[in-house]
Structures are given as structure tokens and as C-alpha cells.
Amino acid sequence: MLRFLTAGESHGPALVGILEGMPSGVMVSVPFIDDELARRQKGYGRGRRMAIEQDKAELLSGIRNGKTLGSPIALLIKNKDWTINSLPPVTRPRPGHADLAGAIKYSHTDVRNVLERASARETAMRVAIGAICKQLIKEFGIEVISHVIAIGPIKADTSGLSFKRIKDLASKSNISCADPKAERMMIKAIDDATIDKDSLGGVFEVIAKGCPIGLGSYAHYDRRLDGRLAQAIMSIQAIKAVEIGSGIESAYKRGSEVHDEIFYKKNRGFFHKTNRAGGIEGGMTNGEDIILHCFMKPIATLGSPLSSVDIISRKPFKAAVERSDICAVPAAAVVGEAQVAFELGEALGEKFGGDSLIEMKRNYNSYEHHISRVYGYR
């Protein structure tokens, strides 16, 4: 079983992560992890802290000479602006944050004790762990990418673009958008929101290519891959909805317009010509690309602050203006990729489980051989 834990406060000395259950023998590149961390820090609309941080991961255990040992992998990402002990107390909970409910739940009158951990700074560690998972799933031909498909009301049109084209265009874009025309309008929308002391959310798409048929299961509620992916994405700060394939639109249509018909070709096996299901049927991968749309609310810390009430004095006030992102959708997309890579690593481990990569690959190859022989796949 693959699982991970993270620890660390936003302005504490470091973020810490433990990834357990990785098979032995997986090549892990630290520069790749750092590249992924750098991707999370980029994106038009991010605040000043991103310029300070420049995250780097240190691997403390579980890897020797560049390969996993099968033992727990411990990671460390140091915070450069480590000031937690000298920061003043906060008694004014910010609307749209964990501040008020968290203070009451954990019995704090200093809201800083809540916001330091609730902050999305923690997602840096998720990205580092996801980068290791990406290196595992790559061994099985699976690749996970993301791109921004909306910022506020501005929507990208990427219909008809291949996986490779989306990946290339998004990687060159300042805002991870594969539609250059929409990208310009998105940047303008962020500039306008900045002038208006406001913020923006948006939508990103995560695509996973190369999944074998049959990851996840219909047999039990908690084994359904759609449910697990949705939970993984919903766990990212500020994500408020997830759509699999064209799930939302399909609710307003007739069945004949929605479901993906099945075809068969010798040397190709069974396939669908459309992928409105987003690669998952009955809680299992069906061999098509997994497609997730992830909806992020606008950043809650605003240049023109909203009203709230002081926890101690009970007096109303306008929330303090703090440095903050105006829009963090491109960064959240990188976190989304990490969460999906982790879930797919876990699902691969369940289906082809083994303590070493060699063992997992043996099980995987034997399954592929079986389905090609019995069901006529390539």
C-alpha cells in the first residue's frame, strides 16, 4: 500500500514528508523533483513569496545511489523565510480560510496556530512526493499532465488538440494554458483583478495517459478509482469541485448523447471513439485517457479586504491586507498532477503489487499478455 504523510508549518523551519510502500528499484531523479517544485512556484498571478522560496527537496532516506530501497522515503524542503516564532499573533479570522473554524475546533485564540498549517505551502511536499510517484508510474508507460482551461470567466479552447500538443503548449505558457489567445485574455483578467484589489479562481484539467485497463474496482465503494481521484483532488486547498470526463454536462443530456460506444479492431482490441466518461467506467480505468476537471475558487485573501470579527474583542474589522497570490490556478494544477500520480501509483500497486519494481513489472506483463491473448489486445 502506497501512502504518505506531510508535516510542517508555512513559516516553520521546513516541510517534511514520508512516502511509504514504494517498491524497490525505482530510479528517482532529484533534479526532476526540483523541476516539479519549480513548476508549482511559477504561473502568472502568484505572490512575492514564490520569489523567496525556490524550493529544493532533500532525500533523507529510502533511496540509495538513485534508486528506491523499498523502505520509507523521507523528504525535507527547507523554508527560506522561517519566521514562525517571531510572527505576531493573529486574532482576526479571514473569510474563506480555515481561520475561524480551525481556531474554535483546536481551541486557539491565536489564529496563526491554524493558518500556518492550513496554508497551501504544504502542497510543495505533495508535489515532491507526486514527483517520485510520477517516476514509478512512468515505468508502466503512464504520464500525467495538466493545463489551465479557465481563469475566472475566460475559457480556453483546446478541443481537437492531442495530449502531446497540449503538453507542449502548456509548458511554454506563462499560465499553463494551451490556447495562446485565451492565455492573453487570462493574463489581462489577472492584471485587472490586481488593479481592482481582487482575486480569481479557475479550472484546470489533469490528463493521465497510458493507464492499463482495470485500475480501481467496482466491487466496493472505497475501491472505486473515480471516488479516490475526486477525494485526492478535493483535498487540495481551494478546490471546490471535480468533474470526471464530461460528467457535469452529461447530467443535462440524454443517454444517447453521452455514453461512449464500444468498437473492436484486430491488433487494437476494444476501444471507444469518444471519451466522455473520462477514462473511467464502473470505478475502473477503461484504457482511455483519464480526464479530470478541477474547479478552484478565487483566492480568499483580498487587496480590498472583506469584513470579519475579531476573536478576542468581538469587534468587526476589515481583514488585514497581506501578501498573497491573486490567482494560483497554474500552481494548483501541478499539485493536481501530483495527487493523481500518487493515486495511480497506489492503484498500480494494488493491481500488480510487489515489493520490487521487477516483481510489479512481472505481474503487469503477465496481465498484459493475458488480456492480449484472451481479449485480442495488442
Ligand X SMILES: Cc1cc2nc3c(=O)[nH]c(=O)nc-3n(C[C@H](O)[C@H](O)[C@H](O)COP(=O)(O)O)c2cc1C
| Sequence-separated contacts (24+) of 262-268 with Cβ below 8 Å | 264/376, 266/376, 267/378, 268/377, 268/378
Return the bridge partners of 307, or none: 318
Taking the CA atoms of the chain, what radius of gyration do you get in angstroms?
22
Q: Which is nearer to ligand X, 186 or 284 (CB)?
A: 186
The reply on whether position 194 binds ligand X by CB under 6 A is no
The reply on whether position 238 binds ligand X by CB under 6 A is yes
Q: Which is nearer to ligand X, 209 or 297 (CB)?
A: 297
Q: To which residue does cell 508502466 refer?
A: 140
The reply on whether position 233 binds ligand X by CB under 6 A is no
Window contacting ligand X (CB under 6 A); options: 26-34, 61-69, 74-82, 112-120:
112-120
Q: Which is nearer to ligand X, 285 or 339 (CB)?
A: 339
Q: Which is nearer to ligand X, 27 or 50 (CB)?
A: 50
Least separation in angstroms between CB 333 and ligand X: 9
Least separation in angstroms between CB 49 and ligand X: 8
Whether the Cβ atoms of residue 135 and residue 204 lie closer than 8 Å to each other? no
The reply on whether position 102 binds ligand X by CB under 6 A is no
Among 149, 107, 118, 151, which residue's Cα sits nearest to residue 297?
Answer: 151
Return the bridge partners of 216, or none: 284
The reply on whether position 132 binds ligand X by CB under 6 A is no
Return the bridge partners of 147, or none: 205
Window contacting ligand X (CB under 6 A); options: 30-38, 90-98, 158-166, 303-311:
90-98
Strand 57-61 relative to strand 63-64: parallel, antiparallel, unpaired? unpaired
Whether the Cβ atoms of residue 63 and residue 73 lie closer than 8 Å to each other? yes
The reply on whether position 260 binds ligand X by CB under 6 A is no
Q: Which is nearer to ligand X, 288 or 325 (CB)?
A: 325
Q: Which is nearer to ligand X, 276 or 293 (CB)?
A: 293
Q: Which is nearer to ligand X, 22 or 98 (CB)?
A: 98
Residues 198-217 that bind ligand X (CB under 6 A): none
Window contacting ligand X (CB under 6 A); options: 59-67, 91-99, 284-292, 361-369:
91-99
Among 376, 350, 210, 218, which residue's Cα sits nearest to residue 288?
Answer: 210
Whether the Cβ atoms of residue 19 and residue 59 lie closer than 8 Å to each other? no
Which of 47, 70, 227, 305 binds ligand X (CB under 6 A)? It is 47
Which of 57, 63, 120, 348 binds ligand X (CB under 6 A)? It is 120
Least separation in angstroms between CB 33 and ligand X: 17
Whether the Cβ atoms of residue 201 and residue 152 lie closer than 8 Å to each other? yes
Among 146, 186, 151, which residue's Cα sits nearest to residue 333?
Answer: 146
What's the CA dihedral at 177, 179, 183, 186 to 10 degrees?
A: -90
The reply on whether position 176 binds ligand X by CB under 6 A is no
Q: Which is nearer to ligand X, 98 or 169 (CB)?
A: 98
Residues 291-350 that bind ligand X (CB under 6 A): 297, 299-301, 324-325, 328, 331-332, 335
Which of 236, 242, 284, 290 binds ligand X (CB under 6 A)? It is 236
The reply on whether position 118 binds ligand X by CB under 6 A is yes
Q: Where are the alpha helices (DSSP H) in the chain?
A: 30-41, 49-53, 99-105, 112-118, 123-138, 163-172, 180-195, 225-234, 247-250, 255-258, 329-352, 357-375
Among 238, 262, 259, which residue's Cα sits nearest to residue 250?
Answer: 259
Least separation in angstroms between CB 200 and ligand X: 12
Residue ranges that bind ligand X, judged by CB under 6 A: 47, 96-98, 118-120, 123, 236-238, 297, 299-301, 324-325, 328, 331-332, 335
